[in-house]
A and B are shown apart, each in its own frame.
Chain A
Amino acid sequence: MIPESFEYHAPQTLAEASRLIAQFGQEGKILAGGHSLLPLMKLRLASPRHLVDIGRVAELKYIREDADKIQIGALTTHYQIESSELLKQKCPLLPETAREIGDVQVRNKGTLGGSLAHADPAADWPAAILALGGEVEARSESGSRWIPAQEFFVEMLTTTLQADEILTAIRVPALPAHAGEAYVKFAQPASGFAIVGAAARVVLDDAGAVAEVGVGITGVAAKPYRAAAVEGVLRGHSPTAKRIAEAAAHAAEGVEVNADLYASAEYRTHLAAVYTRRALEKAVERAGGK
């Protein structure tokens, strides 16, 4: 399993990387941790002429708190997120999601930005970033823009990133008071990818009713999505077990549900409701609700 030949470029700065990727256009591919792209190249499903390895761009490796937001550099590895004390306190959904990805070795090398840009429809990060209402920063030589997570994923392995743009950062809200988050997944036993993964974020008001809710679902459709119908049933209401179950029943509403060797569309639809319910129950419990 040897990739096709390519020219290798190892820029030291983001500016240099942006220049290279603008120059190569469709013939260039960005390499971050390589744990999505290299497997594709080894199978020759991807054969870029130019590989721009941004692994040495130090300015893309950070986790920082900025007022009520958390910003994470695109090259931060799954393990760095999993083990971050700041994130465990300020955005526990991210470490909880990181722990579910691949295995120890994969988490040492794979990156948050790389996974999001790759946009595998069964990857874990999209569910979490969607539930949090996060944003993704894209930079090119002509400037930078922030893309809401909901607009970022277009199709299987396709995002709104342009050929000359590099995904540089992810921004999510820090955990406010009376809030809880959770990610649960039903993993394919061999690959570890999500047959269904559900992430939930719930913020309660003083009366214990749901003030804000975000539910992100991966593995179920051609792209990860935010389950608006689920959120609609919960918002403004007391999150009783009955209300949560009612809401979760809408988990696969409005999407074309995947069917494959491991799970039929009917079974996946069922699992989506079950895992959405479990994620919501955990999030509500952590928010201090009943």
Chain B
Amino acid sequence: MRIRIKLNGSWREDDVEPRLLLVYYLREVAGLTGTHIGCETTTCGACTILLNGEAVKSCTVLAVQADGAEITTIEGLASDGKLHPLQQGFWEEHGLQCGFCTPGMIMAACQLLGRNPHPTREEIRQGLEGNICRCTGYQHIVKAVEFAAQKISPQSTVES
């Protein structure tokens, strides 16, 4: 089946089998291997991408379901060779160890900051509930998201 997808800002057309999962489309048809395949059972969040602006697990979406949609993957975040604030946050705050969960974490965090630009630590943890880090580096991941939130829309420190 012929599908048309706006992938990281540019439209492309491909012939795909209806049973092709979106994550395989991204990795094997479009060649964007930044989106990882972890559990393949809608659990781990490594394959998280933005589908029409919403974070979804691309192992549980058919590529044909995304026909006509806009998709953003980890490759679509940096612009003009400059890291996205979330990428910078993960760099600065040591938000990754092995890095396998990182693309999914960043895409889920991307939606979180879109819905809630100034999340508390608890809200960050809730926003990332669908993403598992097997290195268990959660403290630094939360700090990385806080770094990005501050970078994207600076807020003066609340007096306690």
Which applies to chain B's interface (DSSP): helix, strand, loop or mixed? mixed
Residues on A with C-beta less than 8 A from B108 are 104-105
Q: How far is the CA of A4 from the CA of B18 in the complex (A)?
A: 10
**At the interface, yes or no: B70 with Cβ under 8 Å from chain A?**
no
Q: Which of A41, A103, A190 contacts B45 (CB 8 A)?
A: A103
**At the interface, yes or no: A8 with Cβ under 8 Å from chain B?**
yes
Task: Let me know if A102 and B130 touch, CB within 8 A.
Answer: yes
Residues on A with C-beta less than 8 A from B128 are 104
* B115-127 to A contact mask, C-beta < 8 Å, 1/0: 0000000000011
Residues on B with C-beta less than 8 A from A39 are 41-42, 60
Number of B residues, CB within 8 Å of A: 31
**At the interface, yes or no: A51 with Cβ under 8 Å from chain B?**
yes
Task: Let me know if A34 and B60 touch, CB within 8 A.
Answer: yes
**At the interface, yes or no: A2 with Cβ under 8 Å from chain B?**
yes
Residues on B with C-beta less than 8 A from A191 are 43
Residues on B with C-beta less than 8 A from A34 are 60-62, 65
Task: Let me know if B17 and A35 touch, CB within 8 A.
Answer: no
Q: How far is the CA of A162 from the CA of B42 in the complex (A)?
A: 29
Task: Let me know if B65 and A53 touch, CB within 8 A.
Answer: yes
Q: Which of B40, B65, B127, B130 contacts A106 (CB 8 A)?
A: B130
Closest approach, in angstroms, between the C-beta of B35 and any C-beta of chain A? 13
Task: Let me know if B48 and A3 touch, CB within 8 A.
Answer: no
Residues on B with C-beta less than 8 A from A109 are 51, 54, 56-57, 60-61
Task: Let me know if A104 and B40 touch, CB within 8 A.
Answer: no
Task: Let me know if A35 and B60 touch, CB within 8 A.
Answer: yes
Q: How far is the CA of A218 from the CA of B4 in the complex (A)?
A: 41
Give the residue name and chain of the A residue nearest to B45 (CB).
Answer: A105
Q: How far is the CA of A108 from the CA of B108 in the complex (A)?
A: 11
Residues on A with C-beta less than 8 A from B56 are 105, 108-109
Task: Let me know if A104 and B67 touch, CB within 8 A.
Answer: no
**At the interface, yes or no: B145 with Cβ under 8 Å from chain A?**
no
Q: How many A-B residue pairs have CB under 8 A?
A: 80
**At the interface, yes or no: A42 with Cβ under 8 Å from chain B?**
yes
Closest approach, in angstroms, between the C-beta of B126 and any C-beta of chain A? 8
**At the interface, yes or no: B98 with Cβ under 8 Å from chain A?**
no
Closest approach, in angstroms, between the C-beta of B27 and any C-beta of chain A? 14
Task: Let me know if B64 and A8 touch, CB within 8 A.
Answer: yes
Task: Let me know if A6 and B127 touch, CB within 8 A.
Answer: no
**At the interface, yes or no: B21 with Cβ under 8 Å from chain A?**
yes
Closest approach, in angstroms, between the C-beta of B141 and any C-beta of chain A? 15
**At the interface, yes or no: B75 with Cβ under 8 Å from chain A?**
no
Give the residue name and chain of the A residue nearest to B67 (CB).
Answer: A10
User: Which chain B residues numbered 129 to 150 have a C-beta less than 8 Å away from chain A?
Assistant: 129-130
Q: How far is the CA of A67 from the CA of B147 in the complex (A)?
A: 47
Closest approach, in angstroms, between the C-beta of A134 and any C-beta of chain B? 26
Q: How far is the CA of A79 from the CA of B59 in the complex (A)?
A: 19
Q: Max chain B CB contacts within 10 Å: which of A34, A79, A191?
A: A34
Residues on A with C-beta less than 8 A from B40 are 1, 42
Known A-B contacts A2-B21, A4-B19, A8-B18; the reply to A38 vs B60 at CB < 8 A is yes
Task: Let me know if B17 and A5 touch, CB within 8 A.
Answer: yes
Give the residue name and chain of the A residue nearest to B57 (CB).
Answer: A105
Closest approach, in angstroms, between the C-beta of A24 and any C-beta of chain B? 14
**At the interface, yes or no: B55 with Cβ under 8 Å from chain A?**
yes
What are 26 inter-chain pairs, A to B, with CB distance below 8 A? A1-B40, A1-B59, A4-B19, A5-B19, A6-B18, A7-B18, A8-B1, A8-B64, A10-B64, A10-B67, A34-B61, A38-B61, A42-B41, A42-B60, A79-B54, A103-B45, A103-B130, A104-B111, A104-B112, A104-B127, A105-B42, A105-B45, A105-B55, A105-B56, A108-B56, A109-B57
- Chain A interface (Cβ < 8 Å from any Cβ of B): 1-8, 10, 31, 34-35, 38-39, 41-42, 51, 53, 55, 79, 102-106, 108-109, 190-191
Lowest 7 CB-CB distances: which A-B pairs, in order? A103-B130, A8-B18, A108-B54, A105-B130, A3-B19, A103-B129, A1-B40
